[in-house]
Amino acid sequence: FKVAHDVTITKQAVYTATKDVIEDFYQDNVIYLELRTTPRAVEGLSKTEYIEAVIEAIKDNQLNIVVKLLLCIDRRHEISISENALELIIEMKNKYPDIIKGIDLCGNPNVGIFDAKLFAKARKNRLKLSLHGGEVKNDEEVREIFELKPERIGHGTCIHPDFGGSEMLWNLYKEAKIPIEICLTSNVICGTSKSYKEHHVSEWIKNDFPFSISTDDKGVFNTTLSKEYELLQKNFNLNEHDLWKIAFNSINQSFADDVEKNNLKGVLLDWKTKYIK
């Protein structure tokens, strides 16, 4: 991540990097993309200018791919810094409501805290919540995240008792059924999952609980969405119908608007008719 930060220190660099990422996903046949970034300031580039460079790249996109933006709050920062970041995110959300759709809690899960009041305020300001949670064992924090009822949870590794969670958390999850963003390669490389075959997504598959497949960071983890689906298929003995269903169901879990969701569903239904027997 440091390398990526070191080379995106001008507005043009941020714009170019964003355009390149969109192009990469498009080349992988992705038709809907939610980018995430943490607003940051460096010498000669304010947080507002940083966000606007990303927005400009999204607005200039001419490819057949829908792109939205989630802005992140880093849990490592002091509360006052996070509060200021939220104010900026709300301001930018009001300025670009069709692009900025949500907010995320990111950063080292072993550092800092989860401030529920901060994200409750974000929700009151029409920001959808996608919160990294359960990356490491922290039953109380995950319980607090459940209580907030975010639209999605990132990773969710330590929820089930067989994967570092607890019976208490799993029972709460079975009631909440909050969609989980699954990032297979990221989890294995970071060591939060022992292997692909021993990944916690197995419990979501077995119980037919909602989840979507994501890359986390395709550059850092040297992956693509296609590779992530391939890993899922090979390690959990899924067929093309299973993979299609996962992709189709993820549309409802997305932060697209209703018109966009219907359009995306139409694309996948047409594709299924043509290619899946």
Residue-wise pLDDT for 114-167, tens only, equals 999 999 999 999 999 999 999 999 999 999 999 999 999 999 999 999 999 999
The reply to whether 144 belongs to the active site is no
**pLDDT value at 2 more than 50:** no
Burial 186-203 (b: 16+ CB within 10 A, else e): bbbeeebbeebeebbbeb
Question: Mean pLDDT across the stretch 248-252?
Answer: 98
**pLDDT value at 3 more than 90:** no
Q: How confident is the model at residue 1 (pLDDT cuts 50, 70, 90)?
A: very low
**pLDDT value at 269 more than 80:** yes
Residue-wise pLDDT for 6-19, tens only, equals 556 799 999 999 99
DSSP H or E segment with residue 26: helix 11-27
Q: What is the pLDDT of residue 42?
A: 86
Q: What is the pLDDT of residue 277?
A: 82
Residue-wise pLDDT for 18-60, tens only, equals 999 999 999 999 999 999 999 999 889 999 999 999 999 999 9
What is the tally of helices (H) and strands (E) in the chain?
12, 7
Q: What is the pLDDT of residue 250?
A: 98
Q: Which CATH number applies to 1-130: 1.20.1050.10, 3.20.20.140, 1.10.3720.10, 3.40.50.2000?
A: 3.20.20.140
Q: What is the pLDDT of residue 7?
A: 53
- Residue ranges of domains in the chain: 1-130, 134-238
Residue-wise pLDDT for 191-227, tens only, equals 999 999 999 999 999 999 999 999 999 999 999 999 9
DSSP labels, 20-88? HHHHHHHHTT--EEEEEE----BTTB-HHHHHHHHHHHHHT--SS-EEEEEEEEETTS-HHHHHHHHHH
Which position among 34, 135, 181, 203 bears the catalytic label? 135
